[in-house]
């Protein structure tokens, strides 16, 4: 029995990505940032896990994505970190109750986040006032 054309049409809409080499659609794993709640490629987000037991645990950054346990993802940006902290999203994302020690994760994000202001001449936009 030949396949129904409706089934192909429905299946085609679910495919994400772009066909670059003709071998089929390229799928990139996507995750949701717990701070800003935007979906992004997993490679653009920082994974972290909870380490510890009981009511207190610390958040361990996992840039290599190899630590065991349930992980959550966050943009390596201080604004997303602050928003996740304000919304108390760490416990919900990791399905844990208690107080999270975010010091190690915050330090990792501070060192990994690109600096917004520099005195480098290349970062200053050059505009022609005559235009």
Q: Is residue 114 predicted with pLDDT exceeding 80?
A: no
In the prediction, which pLDDT does 16 show? Answer: 54
Average confidence (pLDDT) over 111-118: 66
The residues pairing with 61 across neighbouring beta strands, listed in sequence order, are: 48
Question: In the numeric block, which tokens belong to residue 46?
Answer: 């920082």
Mean pLDDT in residue range 106-123: 69
Predicted confidence at residue 20, as pLDDT, reads 53
| Mean pLDDT estimate for the chain | 81
Q: Where do the DSSP E strands lie in 3-129?
A: 30-32, 39-41, 46-51, 56-61, 71-74, 99-101
- pLDDT exceeds 60 at position 126: no
> What's the pLDDT band for 51 if we cut at 50, 70, 90?
very high
Burial class, 36, CB count within 10 angstroms (exposed 0-12 / middle 13-18 / buried 19+):
middle
Q: For tokens 């917004």, what's the residue?
A: 116
Instruction: Say whether pLDDT at 33 is over 70.
Output: yes
Query: Measured between alpha carbons, how far is 74 from 47 in angstroms, rounded to an integer?
Result: 7
pLDDT for the residue numbered 121? 46
| Segment 64-107, tens digit of pLDDT | 999 999 999 999 999 999 999 999 999 999 999 888 899 999 99
Assess contact for 108 and 46: CB atoms under 8 A. yes
């Amino acid at each position: 029995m030949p396949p129904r054309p409706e089934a192909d049409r429905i299946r085609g809409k679910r495919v994400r990505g772009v066909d670059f080499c003709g071998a089929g659609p390229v799928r990139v794993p996507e995750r949701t940032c717990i701070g800003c709640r935007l979906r992004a490629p997993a490679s653009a987000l920082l994974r972290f896990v909870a380490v510890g037991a009981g009511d207190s645990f610390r958040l361990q950054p996992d840039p290599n994505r190899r630590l065991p346990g349930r992980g959550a993802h966050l943009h390596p940006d201080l604004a997303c970190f602050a928003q996740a902290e304000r919304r108390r999203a760490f416990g919900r994302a990791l399905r844990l109750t208690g107080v999270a020690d975010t010091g190690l994760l915050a330090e990792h994000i501070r060192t990994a986040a690109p600096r917004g202001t520099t005195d480098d001449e290349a970062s200053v936009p050059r505009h022609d006032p005559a235009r």
